[in-house]
Structure 1
Protein backbone atom coordinates (compact mmCIF):
# COMPACT_ATOMS: atom_id res chain seq x y z
CA UNK A 1 0.00 0.00 0.00
CA UNK A 2 1.22 3.44 -0.89
CA UNK A 3 0.72 6.05 1.79
CA UNK A 4 2.70 8.95 0.28
CA UNK A 5 0.39 11.67 -1.02
CA UNK A 6 0.15 15.38 -1.78
CA UNK A 7 -3.52 15.55 -0.74
CA UNK A 8 -3.97 18.02 2.09
CA UNK A 9 -7.74 18.63 1.91
CA UNK A 10 -8.99 15.24 3.10
CA UNK A 11 -12.68 14.29 2.92
CA UNK A 12 -14.22 12.08 5.57
CA UNK A 13 -17.20 11.42 3.31
CA UNK A 14 -16.05 10.62 -0.21
CA UNK A 15 -16.49 13.21 -2.91
CA UNK A 16 -17.92 10.47 -5.13
CA UNK A 17 -20.79 9.97 -2.69
CA UNK A 18 -21.28 13.71 -2.21
CA UNK A 19 -21.48 14.17 -6.00
CA UNK A 20 -24.23 11.54 -6.20
CA UNK A 21 -26.20 13.77 -3.83
CA UNK A 22 -25.29 17.14 -5.31
CA UNK A 23 -27.97 19.76 -5.88
CA UNK A 24 -26.56 20.42 -9.37
CA UNK A 25 -25.35 17.01 -10.68
CA UNK A 26 -25.02 18.26 -14.28
CA UNK A 27 -22.49 20.98 -13.34
CA UNK A 28 -18.74 20.57 -13.73
CA UNK A 29 -17.21 18.85 -10.71
CA UNK A 30 -15.49 22.01 -9.48
CA UNK A 31 -18.89 23.78 -9.41
CA UNK A 32 -21.00 21.03 -7.86
CA UNK A 33 -22.64 21.93 -4.58
CA UNK A 34 -24.38 20.11 -1.77
CA UNK A 35 -26.67 21.28 1.01
CA UNK A 36 -25.19 21.19 4.46
CA UNK A 37 -26.70 21.83 7.85
CA UNK A 38 -25.44 23.28 11.12
CA UNK A 39 -26.38 21.39 14.27
CA UNK A 40 -28.11 23.76 16.68
CA UNK A 41 -28.94 21.27 19.44
CA UNK A 42 -27.94 17.60 19.23
CA UNK A 43 -30.29 16.50 21.99
CA UNK A 44 -33.34 18.07 20.35
CA UNK A 45 -32.23 17.18 16.80
CA UNK A 46 -32.36 20.85 15.91
CA UNK A 47 -30.49 22.04 12.81
CA UNK A 48 -30.59 24.71 10.12
CA UNK A 49 -29.50 25.00 6.52
CA UNK A 50 -26.01 26.51 6.23
CA UNK A 51 -26.64 28.23 2.91
CA UNK A 52 -29.54 28.42 0.49
CA UNK A 53 -27.02 28.04 -2.36
CA UNK A 54 -25.39 24.96 -0.85
CA UNK A 55 -21.65 24.47 -0.32
CA UNK A 56 -19.00 23.44 -2.80
CA UNK A 57 -18.35 19.72 -2.64
CA UNK A 58 -14.59 20.06 -2.89
CA UNK A 59 -14.56 21.83 0.48
CA UNK A 60 -17.46 20.06 2.22
CA UNK A 61 -17.00 17.38 4.86
CA UNK A 62 -13.23 17.68 4.72
CA UNK A 63 -10.47 18.82 7.05
CA UNK A 64 -6.89 19.65 6.18
CA UNK A 65 -4.49 16.82 7.05
CA UNK A 66 -7.12 14.93 9.03
CA UNK A 67 -5.63 11.56 8.03
CA UNK A 68 -1.99 12.66 7.64
CA UNK A 69 0.07 10.68 10.09
CA UNK A 70 3.47 12.02 8.98
CA UNK A 71 3.82 15.39 7.25
CA UNK A 72 7.11 15.04 5.38
CA UNK A 73 7.38 18.56 3.95
CA UNK A 74 5.26 21.33 2.51
CA UNK A 75 3.81 19.06 -0.18
CA UNK A 76 4.22 15.42 0.86
CA UNK A 77 2.57 13.55 3.65
CA UNK A 78 1.80 9.97 4.63
CA UNK A 79 -1.96 9.46 4.84
CA UNK A 80 -4.77 7.08 3.85
CA UNK A 81 -5.91 8.85 0.66
CA UNK A 82 -4.80 6.07 -1.73
CA UNK A 83 -6.51 3.46 0.44
CA UNK A 84 -9.74 5.47 0.56
CA UNK A 85 -9.62 6.01 -3.21
CA UNK A 86 -9.49 2.24 -3.73
CA UNK A 87 -12.85 1.86 -2.01
CA UNK A 88 -14.41 5.08 -3.29
CA UNK A 89 -13.71 4.33 -6.94
CA UNK A 90 -16.75 2.10 -7.27
CA UNK A 91 -19.38 4.12 -5.40
CA UNK A 92 -20.91 5.76 -8.45
CA UNK A 93 -20.96 2.64 -10.66
CA UNK A 94 -22.26 0.41 -7.85
CA UNK A 95 -24.99 2.91 -6.95
CA UNK A 96 -26.10 3.34 -10.55
CA UNK A 97 -25.97 -0.41 -11.16
CA UNK A 98 -28.01 -1.12 -8.02
CA UNK A 99 -30.66 1.45 -8.94
CA UNK A 100 -30.86 0.09 -12.48
CA UNK A 101 -31.23 -3.50 -11.28
CA UNK A 102 -33.87 -2.57 -8.71
CA UNK A 103 -35.83 -0.72 -11.41
CA UNK A 104 -35.76 -3.91 -13.53
CA UNK A 105 -36.57 -6.18 -10.55
CA UNK A 106 -33.18 -7.88 -11.02
CA UNK A 107 -32.27 -9.58 -7.74
CA UNK A 108 -28.59 -10.15 -8.61
CA UNK A 109 -27.42 -7.24 -6.46
CA UNK A 110 -25.03 -8.98 -4.05
CA UNK A 111 -21.85 -7.36 -5.40
CA UNK A 112 -23.30 -3.85 -5.40
CA UNK A 113 -24.73 -4.22 -1.89
CA UNK A 114 -21.45 -5.55 -0.52
CA UNK A 115 -19.38 -2.77 -2.13
CA UNK A 116 -21.77 -0.06 -0.94
CA UNK A 117 -21.79 -1.55 2.56
CA UNK A 118 -17.98 -1.32 2.61
CA UNK A 119 -18.18 2.32 1.44
CA UNK A 120 -20.69 3.16 4.20
CA UNK A 121 -18.57 1.30 6.75
CA UNK A 122 -15.60 3.39 5.62
CA UNK A 123 -17.68 6.55 6.17
CA UNK A 124 -18.27 5.45 9.75
CA UNK A 125 -14.68 4.60 10.66
CA UNK A 126 -13.18 7.73 9.11
CA UNK A 127 -15.73 10.20 10.47
CA UNK A 128 -13.78 12.41 12.91
CA UNK A 129 -16.97 13.12 14.84
CA UNK A 130 -17.29 9.40 15.64
CA UNK A 131 -13.81 8.82 17.07
CA UNK A 132 -15.18 7.61 20.44
CA UNK A 133 -17.60 5.20 18.74
CA UNK A 134 -14.88 3.83 16.46
CA UNK A 135 -12.46 3.33 19.34
CA UNK A 136 -15.16 1.58 21.39
CA UNK A 137 -16.32 -0.57 18.47
CA UNK A 138 -12.79 -1.68 17.60
CA UNK A 139 -11.20 -1.53 21.06
CA UNK A 140 -9.25 -4.74 20.43
CA UNK A 141 -7.27 -3.03 17.67
CA UNK A 142 -5.49 -0.91 20.30
CA UNK A 143 -3.45 -4.01 21.17
CA UNK A 144 -2.37 -4.95 17.65
CA UNK A 145 0.49 -3.83 15.46
CA UNK A 146 1.43 -5.16 12.03
CA UNK A 147 4.21 -7.75 11.86
CA UNK A 148 4.96 -7.46 8.13
CA UNK A 149 8.02 -5.26 7.70
CA UNK A 150 6.51 -3.06 4.97
CA UNK A 151 3.46 -2.28 7.12
CA UNK A 152 5.40 -2.12 10.38
CA UNK A 153 7.66 0.71 9.21
CA UNK A 154 4.66 2.81 8.14
CA UNK A 155 2.84 2.03 11.38
CA UNK A 156 5.91 3.17 13.34
CA UNK A 157 5.81 6.43 11.36
CA UNK A 158 2.17 6.77 12.34
CA UNK A 159 3.07 6.45 16.02
CA UNK A 160 5.87 9.04 16.00
CA UNK A 161 5.21 11.01 12.80
CA UNK A 162 5.35 14.76 12.35
CA UNK A 163 1.78 16.03 12.80
CA UNK A 164 1.79 19.81 13.11
CA UNK A 165 -2.01 19.76 12.66
CA UNK A 166 -2.63 17.51 15.67
CA UNK A 167 -3.04 20.21 18.32
CA UNK A 168 -5.57 22.12 16.19
CA UNK A 169 -7.50 18.98 15.15
CA UNK A 170 -7.79 17.66 18.69
CA UNK A 171 -9.10 21.02 19.91
CA UNK A 172 -11.59 21.26 17.02
CA UNK A 173 -12.84 17.69 17.44
CA UNK A 174 -12.83 17.64 21.25
CA UNK A 175 -10.56 14.60 21.46
CA UNK A 176 -7.25 13.92 23.19
CA UNK A 177 -3.93 13.44 21.44
CA UNK A 178 -3.98 9.80 22.50
CA UNK A 179 -7.47 9.30 21.02
CA UNK A 180 -6.36 10.87 17.74
CA UNK A 181 -3.26 8.66 17.39
CA UNK A 182 -5.20 5.56 18.49
CA UNK A 183 -7.91 6.36 15.91
CA UNK A 184 -5.30 6.74 13.15
CA UNK A 185 -3.75 3.44 14.28
CA UNK A 186 -7.16 1.75 14.21
CA UNK A 187 -7.76 3.06 10.69
CA UNK A 188 -4.36 1.72 9.67
CA UNK A 189 -5.17 -1.75 11.02
CA UNK A 190 -8.70 -1.80 9.55
CA UNK A 191 -7.57 -0.71 6.08
CA UNK A 192 -4.33 -2.65 5.66
CA UNK A 193 -4.16 -5.77 3.56
CA UNK A 194 -2.11 -8.24 5.51
CA UNK A 195 -2.04 -10.88 2.81
CA UNK A 196 -2.70 -10.88 -0.89
CA UNK A 197 -6.39 -10.40 -1.70
Structure 2
Protein backbone atom coordinates (compact mmCIF):
# COMPACT_ATOMS: atom_id res chain seq x y z
CA UNK A 1 0.00 0.00 0.00
CA UNK A 2 1.42 3.37 -1.00
CA UNK A 3 1.83 6.22 1.46
CA UNK A 4 0.07 9.52 0.91
CA UNK A 5 0.49 13.10 2.07
CA UNK A 6 -3.16 14.02 1.39
CA UNK A 7 -4.88 15.06 4.62
CA UNK A 8 -7.98 16.96 3.48
CA UNK A 9 -10.26 13.99 2.79
CA UNK A 10 -13.53 14.68 0.94
CA UNK A 11 -16.47 12.36 1.61
CA UNK A 12 -18.36 13.92 -1.31
CA UNK A 13 -15.58 14.07 -3.89
CA UNK A 14 -14.38 17.35 -5.34
CA UNK A 15 -15.07 15.88 -8.78
CA UNK A 16 -18.75 15.43 -7.94
CA UNK A 17 -19.02 18.85 -6.34
CA UNK A 18 -17.34 20.54 -9.32
CA UNK A 19 -20.10 19.17 -11.54
CA UNK A 20 -22.34 21.42 -9.41
CA UNK A 21 -20.06 24.47 -9.25
CA UNK A 22 -21.58 27.96 -9.40
CA UNK A 23 -19.11 28.79 -12.17
CA UNK A 24 -17.38 25.77 -13.68
CA UNK A 25 -15.24 27.97 -15.97
CA UNK A 26 -13.03 29.39 -13.21
CA UNK A 27 -9.88 27.62 -12.02
CA UNK A 28 -10.64 24.57 -9.86
CA UNK A 29 -9.10 26.09 -6.74
CA UNK A 30 -11.54 29.02 -7.02
CA UNK A 31 -14.70 27.04 -7.74
CA UNK A 32 -17.53 27.42 -5.26
CA UNK A 33 -20.91 25.89 -4.50
CA UNK A 34 -23.86 27.34 -2.59
CA UNK A 35 -24.33 25.82 0.85
CA UNK A 36 -27.80 25.79 2.45
CA UNK A 37 -28.65 24.92 6.03
CA UNK A 38 -31.88 23.01 6.58
CA UNK A 39 -34.41 24.93 8.64
CA UNK A 40 -37.40 22.63 8.17
CA UNK A 41 -37.78 19.23 6.55
CA UNK A 42 -41.51 18.43 6.34
CA UNK A 43 -42.37 21.66 4.49
CA UNK A 44 -38.89 22.06 3.01
CA UNK A 45 -37.26 25.33 3.99
CA UNK A 46 -33.57 26.17 3.70
CA UNK A 47 -31.27 29.19 4.09
CA UNK A 48 -28.08 30.04 2.23
CA UNK A 49 -25.11 30.23 4.58
CA UNK A 50 -22.67 32.41 2.60
CA UNK A 51 -23.69 34.78 -0.16
CA UNK A 52 -20.71 33.87 -2.38
CA UNK A 53 -20.92 30.14 -1.67
CA UNK A 54 -18.20 27.96 -0.15
CA UNK A 55 -14.95 26.78 -1.74
CA UNK A 56 -15.25 23.25 -3.06
CA UNK A 57 -11.66 22.36 -2.20
CA UNK A 58 -12.51 22.53 1.51
CA UNK A 59 -16.21 21.61 1.44
CA UNK A 60 -17.62 18.26 2.64
CA UNK A 61 -14.19 17.18 3.85
CA UNK A 62 -12.53 16.32 7.16
CA UNK A 63 -8.87 16.18 8.07
CA UNK A 64 -7.47 12.62 8.06
CA UNK A 65 -10.95 11.06 7.78
CA UNK A 66 -9.67 8.01 5.86
CA UNK A 67 -6.29 7.72 7.59
CA UNK A 68 -5.62 4.07 8.48
CA UNK A 69 -2.19 4.74 9.92
CA UNK A 70 -0.45 8.08 10.53
CA UNK A 71 3.32 7.90 10.12
CA UNK A 72 6.07 10.17 11.38
CA UNK A 73 6.35 13.33 9.35
CA UNK A 74 3.58 14.21 6.90
CA UNK A 75 2.88 10.76 5.46
CA UNK A 76 0.09 8.32 6.21
CA UNK A 77 -1.60 5.23 4.86
CA UNK A 78 -5.09 6.24 3.77
CA UNK A 79 -7.80 5.39 1.26
CA UNK A 80 -7.51 8.55 -0.83
CA UNK A 81 -5.50 6.97 -3.65
CA UNK A 82 -8.01 4.12 -3.92
CA UNK A 83 -10.85 6.63 -4.25
CA UNK A 84 -9.13 8.63 -6.99
CA UNK A 85 -9.90 6.22 -9.82
CA UNK A 86 -13.59 6.45 -8.97
CA UNK A 87 -13.49 10.23 -8.68
CA UNK A 88 -11.76 10.66 -12.03
CA UNK A 89 -14.23 8.31 -13.71
CA UNK A 90 -17.20 10.13 -12.15
CA UNK A 91 -16.60 13.41 -14.00
CA UNK A 92 -15.70 11.79 -17.29
CA UNK A 93 -18.58 9.31 -17.41
CA UNK A 94 -21.17 11.82 -16.22
CA UNK A 95 -20.19 14.30 -18.92
CA UNK A 96 -20.14 11.57 -21.59
CA UNK A 97 -23.53 10.25 -20.51
CA UNK A 98 -25.24 13.64 -20.50
CA UNK A 99 -23.60 14.68 -23.76
CA UNK A 100 -24.84 11.57 -25.56
CA UNK A 101 -28.36 11.38 -24.13
CA UNK A 102 -29.97 13.53 -26.80
CA UNK A 103 -28.00 12.02 -29.66
CA UNK A 104 -28.44 8.39 -28.64
CA UNK A 105 -31.20 6.15 -27.38
CA UNK A 106 -30.96 5.91 -23.57
CA UNK A 107 -30.76 2.09 -23.80
CA UNK A 108 -27.49 2.38 -25.75
CA UNK A 109 -25.81 4.04 -22.75
CA UNK A 110 -26.26 1.15 -20.32
CA UNK A 111 -22.54 0.55 -19.81
CA UNK A 112 -22.02 4.20 -18.80
CA UNK A 113 -25.04 4.05 -16.49
CA UNK A 114 -23.84 0.91 -14.74
CA UNK A 115 -20.34 2.27 -14.23
CA UNK A 116 -21.80 5.50 -12.89
CA UNK A 117 -24.00 3.49 -10.54
CA UNK A 118 -20.90 1.76 -9.14
CA UNK A 119 -19.24 5.14 -8.60
CA UNK A 120 -22.25 6.50 -6.75
CA UNK A 121 -22.47 3.46 -4.47
CA UNK A 122 -18.77 3.75 -3.60
CA UNK A 123 -19.51 7.33 -2.54
CA UNK A 124 -22.20 5.96 -0.26
CA UNK A 125 -19.98 3.62 1.74
CA UNK A 126 -17.35 6.34 2.24
CA UNK A 127 -19.82 8.81 3.76
CA UNK A 128 -19.24 9.23 7.53
CA UNK A 129 -22.88 10.16 8.10
CA UNK A 130 -23.77 6.55 7.28
CA UNK A 131 -21.04 4.69 9.19
CA UNK A 132 -23.47 2.60 11.24
CA UNK A 133 -25.62 1.81 8.23
CA UNK A 134 -22.57 0.69 6.22
CA UNK A 135 -21.42 -1.56 9.06
CA UNK A 136 -24.88 -3.14 9.21
CA UNK A 137 -24.99 -3.64 5.43
CA UNK A 138 -21.63 -5.42 5.44
CA UNK A 139 -21.78 -7.08 8.86
CA UNK A 140 -20.55 -10.35 7.29
CA UNK A 141 -17.16 -8.68 6.80
CA UNK A 142 -16.61 -8.29 10.54
CA UNK A 143 -13.39 -10.13 11.39
CA UNK A 144 -12.60 -10.95 7.72
CA UNK A 145 -9.00 -10.58 6.51
CA UNK A 146 -7.85 -9.80 2.95
CA UNK A 147 -6.84 -12.83 0.87
CA UNK A 148 -3.65 -11.21 -0.37
CA UNK A 149 -0.73 -11.76 2.03
CA UNK A 150 0.60 -8.26 1.40
CA UNK A 151 -2.75 -6.63 2.01
CA UNK A 152 -3.32 -8.86 5.02
CA UNK A 153 -0.07 -7.67 6.62
CA UNK A 154 -1.09 -4.04 6.07
CA UNK A 155 -4.59 -4.73 7.36
CA UNK A 156 -3.38 -6.34 10.61
CA UNK A 157 -0.93 -3.49 11.21
CA UNK A 158 -3.83 -1.04 11.35
CA UNK A 159 -5.01 -2.47 14.69
CA UNK A 160 -2.25 -0.80 16.69
CA UNK A 161 -1.67 2.15 14.34
CA UNK A 162 -1.48 5.80 15.31
CA UNK A 163 -4.67 7.67 14.41
CA UNK A 164 -4.76 11.05 16.20
CA UNK A 165 -8.01 11.99 14.44
CA UNK A 166 -10.10 9.28 16.09
CA UNK A 167 -11.55 11.22 19.03
CA UNK A 168 -12.58 14.21 16.92
CA UNK A 169 -14.14 12.10 14.14
CA UNK A 170 -16.01 9.86 16.56
CA UNK A 171 -17.39 12.85 18.47
CA UNK A 172 -18.62 14.63 15.34
CA UNK A 173 -20.27 11.62 13.69
CA UNK A 174 -21.62 9.95 16.83
CA UNK A 175 -19.76 6.63 16.62
CA UNK A 176 -17.40 4.70 18.88
CA UNK A 177 -13.73 4.17 18.09
CA UNK A 178 -14.46 0.52 17.33
CA UNK A 179 -17.20 1.48 14.86
CA UNK A 180 -15.00 4.07 13.16
CA UNK A 181 -12.03 1.73 12.75
CA UNK A 182 -14.32 -1.12 11.65
CA UNK A 183 -15.80 1.20 9.00
CA UNK A 184 -12.32 2.03 7.63
CA UNK A 185 -11.57 -1.71 7.47
CA UNK A 186 -14.83 -2.45 5.66
CA UNK A 187 -14.01 0.17 3.02
CA UNK A 188 -10.51 -1.32 2.70
CA UNK A 189 -11.94 -4.80 2.13
CA UNK A 190 -14.53 -3.56 -0.37
CA UNK A 191 -12.22 -1.56 -2.63
CA UNK A 192 -8.65 -2.76 -2.01
CA UNK A 193 -9.03 -6.54 -2.30
CA UNK A 194 -8.85 -7.64 -5.96
CA UNK A 195 -11.10 -10.51 -7.01
CA UNK A 196 -11.76 -12.21 -10.33
CA UNK A 197 -12.29 -10.43 -13.67
CA UNK A 198 -10.32 -7.40 -12.50
CA UNK A 199 -13.04 -6.40 -10.04
CA UNK A 200 -12.86 -5.63 -6.36
CA UNK A 201 -15.44 -6.77 -3.81
CA UNK A 202 -17.88 -3.86 -4.11
CA UNK A 203 -17.79 -4.09 -7.92
CA UNK A 204 -18.39 -7.85 -7.75
CA UNK A 205 -21.39 -7.38 -5.46
CA UNK A 206 -22.92 -4.84 -7.83
CA UNK A 207 -22.20 -7.12 -10.80
CA UNK A 208 -24.11 -9.92 -9.05
CA UNK A 209 -27.03 -7.54 -8.49
CA UNK A 210 -27.12 -6.50 -12.15
CA UNK A 211 -26.97 -10.11 -13.29
CA UNK A 212 -29.68 -11.26 -10.88
CA UNK A 213 -32.36 -12.70 -13.15
CA UNK A 214 -35.16 -11.93 -10.66
CA UNK A 215 -34.47 -8.24 -10.04
CA UNK A 216 -36.05 -5.62 -12.30
CA UNK A 217 -33.69 -2.67 -12.75
CA UNK A 218 -35.04 0.73 -13.79
CA UNK A 219 -32.84 3.78 -14.42
CA UNK A 220 -34.61 7.13 -14.87
CA UNK A 221 -32.62 10.21 -15.88
CA UNK A 222 -34.09 13.69 -15.53
CA UNK A 223 -32.43 16.67 -17.16
CA UNK A 224 -33.20 20.40 -17.21
CA UNK A 225 -32.35 23.14 -19.70
CA UNK A 226 -29.80 25.60 -18.35
CA UNK A 227 -32.05 28.50 -19.36
CA UNK A 228 -35.01 27.14 -17.36
CA UNK A 229 -35.67 29.60 -14.54
CA UNK A 230 -35.41 28.25 -11.00
CA UNK A 231 -34.33 24.78 -12.10
CA UNK A 232 -31.67 24.33 -9.38
CA UNK A 233 -30.83 20.65 -8.73
CA UNK A 234 -29.67 19.94 -5.19
CA UNK A 235 -26.64 17.93 -4.07
CA UNK A 236 -27.32 16.11 -0.79
CA UNK A 237 -24.64 15.49 1.85
CA UNK A 238 -25.61 11.81 1.78
CA UNK A 239 -27.28 9.43 -0.65
CA UNK A 240 -31.05 9.08 -0.88
CA UNK A 241 -31.76 5.38 -0.40
CA UNK A 242 -35.25 4.19 0.53
CA UNK A 243 -37.25 0.98 0.63
CA UNK A 244 -40.84 2.19 0.12
CA UNK A 245 -42.27 -1.33 -0.33
CA UNK A 246 -41.16 -4.85 0.53
CA UNK A 247 -38.69 -6.05 -2.09
CA UNK A 248 -38.35 -2.57 -3.60
CA UNK A 249 -35.44 -0.15 -3.33
CA UNK A 250 -35.32 3.43 -4.64
CA UNK A 251 -32.09 5.41 -4.86
CA UNK A 252 -31.58 8.98 -6.07
CA UNK A 253 -28.33 10.59 -7.21
CA UNK A 254 -27.36 14.08 -8.31
CA UNK A 255 -25.54 13.92 -11.66
CA UNK A 256 -24.64 17.57 -12.11
CA UNK A 257 -26.16 21.06 -11.88
CA UNK A 258 -28.72 20.14 -14.55
CA UNK A 259 -29.58 16.49 -13.96
CA UNK A 260 -30.28 13.69 -11.51
CA UNK A 261 -30.87 9.94 -11.68
CA UNK A 262 -33.36 7.64 -9.97
CA UNK A 263 -32.68 3.90 -9.70
CA UNK A 264 -35.56 1.56 -8.80
CA UNK A 265 -34.84 -2.07 -8.04
CA UNK A 266 -37.67 -4.60 -7.65
CA UNK A 267 -37.00 -8.12 -6.41
CA UNK A 268 -39.83 -9.91 -8.21
CA UNK A 269 -39.92 -12.95 -5.94
CA UNK A 270 -39.72 -11.02 -2.67
CA UNK A 271 -42.04 -8.07 -3.42
CA UNK A 272 -45.55 -8.20 -1.98
CA UNK A 273 -47.57 -5.75 -4.12
CA UNK A 274 -48.17 -8.31 -6.91
CA UNK A 275 -49.25 -11.76 -5.84
CA UNK A 276 -47.37 -14.69 -7.37
CA UNK A 277 -48.79 -18.17 -7.74
CA UNK A 278 -46.53 -21.07 -6.64
CA UNK A 279 -45.90 -21.72 -10.32
CA UNK A 280 -44.89 -18.08 -10.92
CA UNK A 281 -42.60 -18.08 -7.88
CA UNK A 282 -40.64 -20.98 -9.33
CA UNK A 283 -39.97 -19.20 -12.63
CA UNK A 284 -36.79 -17.46 -13.74
CA UNK A 285 -37.91 -13.96 -14.70
CA UNK A 286 -34.93 -13.49 -17.00
CA UNK A 287 -33.99 -10.01 -15.89
CA UNK A 288 -30.24 -10.69 -15.84
CA UNK A 289 -28.32 -7.81 -17.48
CA UNK A 290 -31.65 -6.32 -18.58
CA UNK A 291 -31.69 -2.62 -17.78
CA UNK A 292 -34.75 -0.43 -18.35
CA UNK A 293 -33.74 3.18 -19.09
CA UNK A 294 -36.03 6.22 -19.32
CA UNK A 295 -35.06 9.83 -20.04
CA UNK A 296 -37.11 12.98 -19.47
CA UNK A 297 -36.44 16.69 -19.91
CA UNK A 298 -37.73 19.59 -17.81
CA UNK A 299 -40.07 17.49 -15.65
CA UNK A 300 -40.47 19.99 -12.82
CA UNK A 301 -42.67 17.73 -10.67
CA UNK A 302 -39.86 15.14 -10.62
CA UNK A 303 -37.32 17.85 -9.75
CA UNK A 304 -39.50 19.10 -6.91
CA UNK A 305 -39.77 15.55 -5.57
CA UNK A 306 -36.01 15.01 -5.81
CA UNK A 307 -35.07 18.28 -4.10
CA UNK A 308 -37.59 17.74 -1.32
CA UNK A 309 -36.14 14.26 -0.73
CA UNK A 310 -32.68 15.84 -0.48
CA UNK A 311 -33.84 18.25 2.22
CA UNK A 312 -35.78 15.53 4.04
CA UNK A 313 -32.91 13.04 4.18
CA UNK A 314 -29.77 15.21 4.34
CA UNK A 315 -27.79 15.27 7.56
CA UNK A 316 -27.72 19.05 7.90
CA UNK A 317 -26.95 20.73 4.58
CA UNK A 318 -27.74 20.67 0.89
CA UNK A 319 -25.75 22.27 -1.93
CA UNK A 320 -26.49 23.74 -5.33
CA UNK A 321 -25.07 25.67 -8.29
CA UNK A 322 -28.17 27.87 -8.15
CA UNK A 323 -29.34 30.24 -5.43
CA UNK A 324 -32.89 28.97 -5.96
CA UNK A 325 -33.29 25.19 -5.81
CA UNK A 326 -36.63 24.24 -7.29
CA UNK A 327 -39.52 23.12 -5.10
CA UNK A 328 -38.19 24.24 -1.71
CA UNK A 329 -38.59 27.53 0.15
CA UNK A 330 -35.37 29.53 0.40
CA UNK A 331 -35.30 31.93 3.33
CA UNK A 332 -33.48 35.23 2.94
CA UNK A 333 -29.96 35.20 4.29
CA UNK A 334 -29.59 37.28 7.45
CA UNK A 335 -26.95 40.01 7.01
CA UNK A 336 -23.99 39.62 9.37
CA UNK A 337 -24.73 42.90 11.18
CA UNK A 338 -28.37 41.95 11.76
CA UNK A 339 -27.39 38.46 12.88
CA UNK A 340 -24.97 39.88 15.44
CA UNK A 341 -27.54 42.42 16.61
CA UNK A 342 -30.10 39.66 17.15
CA UNK A 343 -27.55 37.63 19.05
CA UNK A 344 -26.07 40.33 21.30
CA UNK A 345 -28.83 42.96 21.33
CA UNK A 346 -28.10 46.54 22.32
CA UNK A 347 -24.75 45.55 23.84
CA UNK A 348 -23.38 45.36 20.29
CA UNK A 349 -23.78 49.10 19.76
CA UNK A 350 -22.11 49.97 23.04
CA UNK A 351 -19.22 47.64 22.24
CA UNK A 352 -18.83 49.34 18.84
CA UNK A 353 -18.87 52.79 20.45
CA UNK A 354 -16.31 51.82 23.07
CA UNK A 355 -14.06 50.37 20.39
CA UNK A 356 -14.34 53.54 18.31
CA UNK A 357 -13.60 55.80 21.26
CA UNK A 358 -10.57 53.75 22.21
CA UNK A 359 -9.18 53.92 18.68
CA UNK A 360 -9.62 50.18 17.99
Using the size of structure 2 for normalisation, the TM-score is 0.52
Question: Residue in 2 aligned with 1:78?
Answer: 77
Question: Residue in 1 aligned with 2:51?
Answer: 52
How big is the shift at 1:152? 0.6
Q: Is the 8 A contact 1:69 1:157 kept in 2?
A: no
| Partners of 1:140 and 1:42 in 2: CA distance | 34
Question: Residue in 1 aligned with 2:324?
Answer: none
SS in 2 for 1:146: coil
Q: How do residues 79-118 of structure 1 correspond to structure 2 at under 5 angstroms? A: 79-106=78-105, 107-118=107-118
Q: Is the 8 A contact 1:37 1:50 kept in 2?
A: yes
Q: How do residues 1-197 of structure 1 correspond to structure 2 at under 5 angstroms? A: 2-40=1-39, 47-106=46-105, 107-195=107-195, 197=198
| Partners of 1:43 and 1:142 in 2: CA distance | 37
The structure richer in strand per residue is 2
Q: CA RMSD in A?
A: 1.7
Q: Deviations over 1:108-153 (max 9, x none)?
A: 2122112211111111100001111111111111131113211111
Q: Which has the larger radius of gyration?
A: 2
Name the stretch that deviates more: 154-163 or 179-188: 154-163
| Partners of 1:41 and 1:3 in 2: CA distance | 44
Aligned residues: 196
Structure 1 unaligned spans of 5+ = none
How big is the shift at 1:40? 4.1
Cα distance change on mapping 1:46 and 1:162 into 2, 3 Å = farther
Cα distance change on mapping 1:169 and 1:195 into 2, 3 Å = same
Cα distance change on mapping 1:40 and 1:73 into 2, 3 Å = farther
Q: Deviations over 1:26-78 (max 9, x none)?
A: 11001000112224466776543221211000000100000001000231000
Q: Is the 8 A contact 2:64 2:165 kept in 1?
A: yes
| Partners of 1:158 and 1:86 in 2: CA distance | 23
